[in-house]
Chain A
Amino acid sequence: MAETVFFYIFTSLMLAAAIAVVRHRSPMYSVLSLLVVMFCLSGLFVMLGAYFLAAIQVLLYAGAVLVLFLYVLMLLNLSPDSLNRANVFIQPVAGITAAGLLFVALCRVATQSPLPPTPTVAQPGTIEALGRLLFRDYLLPFELTSFLILAAIIGAVTLAKGKSPS
């Protein structure tokens, strides 16, 4: 079963890289581990038939968001002092405990929730099918997204510009 093998390869690599994102000391390595997570997720999307989203995942996340992260990291040029973990012991313990409890709860939900009633035929998420849906049923959210991005651009420029010379 090639599907099973690839599922376990992608998932284990993804989870290992996610743990590296959380645990690694240097933010630079964390960003690069997040890149591995993105590529593994893209592979899982291909296995689920979401071809367009797999391409978008690589293009937008790996291409735009992570490059932005790396750019800001290099711009800030963090000193080693500012990367020191908090010496509060309670924070990692609380985080791991909460995450473990949530994982147990989510696994119970996943195994007990009812599956779709009939094994339906999966539609492949090609550009054509998604574009048809996007410009017919989701036209208004699509247009509102452009306003959101415009607001984000203006907000980012206003925030990072610094004090106005008035």
Chain B
Amino acid sequence: MVTVTHYVVASAALFCIGLAGVMSRRNVLMILLCVELMLNAANLLFVAYSKAWGNLHGQMIVFFVITVAAAEVTVGLAIAILMMRQRNTLDADAVQSMKW
């Protein structure tokens, strides 16, 4: 029998893999991909609890999260193109002029 807890643990594992990726990769594109993983882990959690509570509001949240993620990827990839054009690198550590 698959309960909600199974889905929560699967979602937590997916989120943690994404977190490890964000912390260990330095390529801007890879960081964006790992952020997508983390967003999808949150989506899975919302849908699982939506089923457990028997209403559809969690699924509505996922709908908006997917939309916002699409917008975020668009702007993020534009920034990556700009970074490649101006600095000729995709290393996140190379862009540090706003670092305190």
Contact status B47-A22, CB under 8 Å: no
Closest-by-CB residue of B relative to A160 is B78
Count how many chain B residues have C-beta atoms less than 8 Å from C-beta atoms of the other chain: 73
Proximity string of chain B (35-64) to chain A, C-beta cutoff 8 Å, 1 when within and 0 when not: 011001001100110111111110110111
Q: How far is the CB of B13 from chain A (nearest CB, A)?
A: 6
CB-CB contacts below 8 Å: A97-126 with B:
98-100, 102-103, 106-107, 110-111, 115-116, 120-123, 125
| 12 further A-B pairs in the complex, CB-CB below 8 A; given A106-B8, A115-B4, A157-B78 | A48-B7, A53-B43, A53-B47, A53-B66, A61-B36, A68-B74, A82-B89, A91-B26, A95-B24, A120-B54, A145-B64, A155-B75
What does the 1/0 interface line of B1-23 toward A look like (CB < 8 Å)? 11111111110111111111111
**B23:A64 contact, CB within 8 angstroms:** no
A138 close to B60 (CB less than 8 A): yes
CB distance from A45 to the nearest CB of B (A): 6
Which size class do A's interface residues fall under?
Answer: 35 or more
Q: In the complex the two chains form, is B66's CB within 8 Å of A83's CB?
A: no
Task: Give bound CA distance, A65 to B68, whole Å.
Answer: 11
Q: Which residues from chain A contact B15 at a C-beta distance below 8 Å?
A: 102, 106
- Are B47 and A15 closer than 8 Å at their CB atoms? no
Given contacts A50-B47, A68-B73, A86-B26, contact A76 B90 (CB under 8 A): yes
Pick from A3, A85, A94, A130: contact of B60, CB below 8 A.
A130
Chain B residues with CB under 8 Å of chain A are 1-10, 12-27, 29-30, 32-34, 36-37, 40, 43-44, 47-48, 50-57, 59-60, 62-64, 66-75, 77-82, 84-85, 89-91, 93
Pick the contact of A65: B54, B73, B80 (CB < 8 A): B73
CB under 8 Å from chain B, chain A span 34-92? 34, 37-38, 41, 44-45, 47-50, 52-53, 56-57, 60-61, 64-65, 68-69, 72-73, 75-76, 78, 82-83, 85-86, 91-92
